[in-house]
A and B are shown apart, each in its own frame.
Chain A
Amino acid sequence: MISPVTGEQPPLVALRDVSKRFASRMDLASRIAARVGAGPAQQVVRALDSVSLEVKQGEVLGLVGESGCGKSTLGRIVARILEPTSGERFWRGAPYSAFDGRSQRAERLAIQMIFQDPFASLNPRLRIVDVIGEAPVVHGLIGREDREAYVADLMARVGLDASTAKRFPHQFSGGQRSRIGIARALAVQPQFLVCDEAVAALDVSIQAQVLNLFIRLREELSLTYLFISHDLGVVRHLSDRVAIMYLGRVVELATAGEVFARPNHPYTQALLAEIPTIEPRKRAFQPIRGEIPSPLSPPPGCHFHPRCPHSTERCRREQPAFREVAPGHFSACHLNDTK
């Protein structure tokens, strides 16, 4: 769909004011405490707080932030695994709901998700040929008789030995399981992959191999990625643009070059200062204070104010607007008003 007004292609995926709330998960101790009246009853987790984001055709958008800030929730909402509590989602400019009909299967399969723990997401009782080959048969992308050849092709593409197709997931190493997870996602011919900490569980040498696979597949298949990772080094290497999240909100967004060279938001600046590098120099670690607060009761105003070295009275009261501070560079911080 090309916009008649601007002639520009709409973004592949767009989120507008997407929020997600969960009833809080309670561990056993807090459930008991709640029952005897000693603790709070069920609370609401504000996992995503009015997030707007676009992913352009063909780009890699990196998504970073500390654990619990809402990255996986955002990824799942993009991949249709979760429904937002409010807000809208668009695929090539049309709302997701436009693809609910039977005939729009290709659009619904167009976004696939790749998870951190490939073993947890693989059924241990299925052979690899079924893990990879079942969905394309069920969705009518291939005939059942073509399944083995189709799977062999995919396995070769992700660097697996196709003669192992009859084995079970536990017979593979961590790196091979990752490749199986990737082949399974590719089997339904997606255009967009949401990769959620897809290399986090892998050893360093294997991580490099799988990252290289992502780089190669992107070129070969013209894929678009939402690449979620807590590892800033990996994100910097792979991404065209980077979004930084903090406690349910996107606080900064720019090209990878911009974010790493000229971080605007104080949280981004703090995060970048923590990237450990292998350049050999002993340094005194200069950490930012405190921990990410609970999304059960996010601080008012700017969510970052309790940890921010620049926070003022206004930051405690008023949520900063997410606005453009340089061409294509967005940030949500009051400091930008005084510049």
Chain B
Amino acid sequence: MSAEPLLQVEGLRTHFFTKAGVVKAVDDVSFSVARGKVMGLVGESGSGKSMTGYSIVGLVDSPGRIVGGRILFDGVDLATLDPVAWRAIRGKRIAMIFQDPMMTLNPVLRVDTQIVEAVLAHAGVSRESALARAREALVRVGIASPDERLRAYPHQFSGGMRQRVAIAIALVNQPDLIIADEPTTALDVTIQGQILFEMQKICAESRTALIWITHDLSVVAGLADTVCVMYAGRVVETGRVSEVLGQPLHPYTRGLIDSVPSRNRRGEPLRQIPGMTPSLLGMGEGCAFRERCPAASAACASSPGVAELARGRFVRCFHPVGEPMAAASP
């Protein structure tokens, strides 16, 4: 890639120091996102997607802590910022959208009050122009009668409408980067389709970079330019969406894609990944996927590093799919 990426995460580690032991929620995570591009961050529940997002926006709470790595945002390492410096960036240059819009919205405040406050927190403008921006943000996310909605309370809205308002708040200060944490997971496919449509348009027009966190590969397929697949706190595969979905190199990615119903003959048993995701508590040495992996060998008892197998294709595996299994022990 020629242009300097807007966000570059390198070797990020966010661990939770619980009574029961250390939970390595994010463990050596690296990826980058350029302006105007969409990156899908995919993985099953507990794989560390949200904590990766929270680390970038400085929302990791005790007993969790960033213990290693760099988060280079437009040249500044966010991992070294103090809370005050964080607050100046969050909501202004980096915005986060949560699965539950009520994480963003206050149920007892009118929508106009909430959006205007979000504007005034970061911009020295008059209340009138803040209100004008609020209205404009609602229009951008496809809300039909913005003036009426501005005067309403969040509890009067459907789930889909609430999420639109939360997205409008994220957009209102024209951030450079938006991190969206499964914002359409709880919504119907038709509403999800509408929101994905708006987000795609907005990011392309305003050159906003977008990280879309989801467990759903099919959402990423239609929306993202690049994808980063996580398993048990680690990134196992990254690359362009068409390449990763078209020719997955990591056995876990491959297993996920193979189990999607449309990739199977109707009515027949789906190809499935056996077993279940491991607990991150006190995870030992070795590839975290090895108990479930059809390609596992003795080598997999130590932890594989990340290798760039083709330009922009990073894989963390001793025996990537499609390579001869020569390395496997007898």
Chain A residues with CB under 8 A of B74: none
Which chain A residue shows the least CB distance to B201? A284
Would you list which residues of chain B between 213 and 232 have a CB under 8 Å from chain A? 215-219, 221-225
A-B pairs with CB below 8 Å: how many? 143
Stretch at the interface among A3-11, A86-94, A274-282: A274-282
Q: A204-B217, A278-B262 are in contact. Are A292 and B188 (CB under 8 A)?
A: yes
Stretch at the interface among A13-21, A119-127, A233-241, A321-329: A233-241
Asked if B259 is at the interface of the complex by the 8 Å CB criterion, the answer is yes
Interface on chain B toward A: helix, strand, loop, or mixed SS? helix
Q: A277-B262, A284-B197, A286-B197 are in contact. Are A205 and B189 (CB under 8 A)?
A: no
Whole-angstrom distance between the Cβ of B295 and the nearest chain A Cβ = 16
What total of chain A residues lie within 8 Å of the partner, measured CB to CB? 46
The answer to whether A208 touches B188, judged by C-beta atoms less than 8 angstroms apart, is no
Asked if A131 is at the interface of the complex by the 8 Å CB criterion, the answer is no
Asked if B106 is at the interface of the complex by the 8 Å CB criterion, the answer is no
**Docked pose: A281 CA to B245 CA in angstroms:** 10
Residue from B192, B241, B245, B260 in contact with A274 in the complex, judged by beta carbons closer than 8 Å:
B192
Q: A66-B190, A271-B189, A278-B262 are in contact. Are A291 and B161 (CB under 8 A)?
A: yes
Q: A280-B242, A281-B221 are in contact. Are A203 and B255 (CB under 8 A)?
A: no
Asked if A142 is at the interface of the complex by the 8 Å CB criterion, the answer is no
Asked if B271 is at the interface of the complex by the 8 Å CB criterion, the answer is yes
The answer to whether B219 touches A276, judged by C-beta atoms less than 8 angstroms apart, is yes
**Docked pose: A220 CA to B263 CA in angstroms:** 25
| Contact bitstring A286-321, B, C-beta under 8 A = 1, else 0 | 111001100000000000000000000000000000
Chain A residues with CB under 8 A of B246: 280
Would you list which residues of chain B between 244 and 262 have a CB under 8 Å from chain A? 244-246, 255-257, 259-262
Asked if A215 is at the interface of the complex by the 8 Å CB criterion, the answer is yes
The answer to whether A175 touches B221, judged by C-beta atoms less than 8 angstroms apart, is no
Range of interface residues on B (Cβ < 8 Å)? 35 or more
Asked if A209 is at the interface of the complex by the 8 Å CB criterion, the answer is yes
The answer to whether A237 touches B221, judged by C-beta atoms less than 8 angstroms apart, is no
**Docked pose: A67 CA to B44 CA in angstroms:** 23
Asked if B200 is at the interface of the complex by the 8 Å CB criterion, the answer is yes
Stretch at the interface among B96-104, B272-280, B312-320: B272-280
Which chain B residue shows the least CB distance to A64? B189
Chain B residues with CB under 8 A of A160: none
The answer to whether B193 touches A212, judged by C-beta atoms less than 8 angstroms apart, is no
Asked if A247 is at the interface of the complex by the 8 Å CB criterion, the answer is no
The answer to whether A208 touches B192, judged by C-beta atoms less than 8 angstroms apart, is no
Chain B residues with CB under 8 A of A287: 190, 193-194, 196-197
Asked if B160 is at the interface of the complex by the 8 Å CB criterion, the answer is yes
The answer to whether A232 touches B257, judged by C-beta atoms less than 8 angstroms apart, is no
Please name 13 pairs of A and B residues whose Cβ atoms are closer than 8 Å in the assembled complex, sorted by A. A173-B276, A205-B255, A205-B256, A205-B277, A206-B44, A208-B270, A209-B274, A233-B262, A278-B260, A279-B262, A281-B242, A282-B241, A292-B188
Sample of 17 further A-B pairs with CB below 8 A, known A275-B218, A278-B257: A67-B188, A207-B259, A211-B270, A215-B269, A230-B189, A233-B218, A233-B261, A271-B190, A275-B189, A276-B222, A277-B262, A278-B262, A280-B245, A284-B200, A285-B200, A288-B193, A288-B194
Q: Which residues of B contact A (CB under 8 A)?
A: 44-45, 153, 155-156, 158, 160-161, 188-194, 196-197, 200, 215-219, 221-225, 241-246, 255-257, 259-264, 266-274, 276-277
